[in-house]
Each structure stands twice: as C-alpha cells, then as structure tokens.
Amino acid sequence: MSSSRPFVVIAEFRVRPGSLDAFLDLAHDDARSSVAQEPGCRAFDVAVSESDPLTVVFYEVYDDRAAFDAHLETPHLARFRAGFPALIEEERPVRFLARTLSGAEPS
C-alpha cells in the first residue's frame, strides 16, 4: 500500500428517464469488479440523489493516482464505458481529491 494520501474520484451522471435501472446495473458491475479485482481500489460507492433520483454519483477511493490509472485499463470499466452513453443525459466533470481522513479511522 502506498504511503501517499488516498486518491478520491467523484463522478456524476444525469440519467435519462426510464434508464436508471440499466445504468445502475452497469455501474454496480463496475463498482463490484473494481473492489474485487483491483488491489488499489479501496472503495467504490454508487449513490442516487434523494432530491433528484436521476442523478447518480460515484465515490471511488484508490491507493494513489497510479491505482486509478490502472482502473482506467480494466475490462469492467470498458463495459461501463461502452454501455452508459445511451443511458445518460449528462456526464458532469469528474472531480479528483486527496483524502485527508476517513470516517473509519480513529481520531
């Protein structure tokens, strides 16, 4: 494991009406595969906005930028990339952050 701060990725999508279930199926495949198959992926959460149920946010945590770069080359991300464009109205700009504290860590 890297001694650098965890690398956080936040991706946000506005899904087409009637396409949420299909989008979530693709998203869940990518998320589960990332956590199970990528040693550098610490977490990959898929969340739906309470105020706008067609807005879906990914919260991904990697050991470092190199682990995220490795994620970009995976078959499961390729499946997601191939399937999601027809299901969304908008892909919002991806945000990259360095995590300074996890709620799971003791203070």
Determine which of 2-6, 9-13, 21-25, 35-39 has the lowest per-residue pLDDT on average: 2-6
* Two structure tokens written together for 104: 């799971």
Specify the pLDDT at position 2. 44
* Two structure tokens written together for 55: 């807005």
Q: What is the pLDDT of residues 75-86, one digit of tens each?
A: 999 999 999 999
Quote the CA–CA distance of 60 and 68 in Å, as a whole number. 9
Specify the pLDDT at position 104. 63
Taken in order of first residue, the domains within the chain and their CATH numbers are 9-98 (3.30.70.100)
Quote the CA–CA distance of 43 and 93 in Å, as a whole number. 20
Residue 55 or 2, more confident:
55
Q: Tell whether the model's pLDDT for residue 47 goes beyond 80.
A: yes
Specify the pLDDT at position 52. 97
Give the sign of the dihedral formed by CA 86, CA 88, CA 91, CA 97.
negative
84: left (phi over 0), alpha (psi -120 to 50) or beta: alpha
Say what the pTM is.
0.90
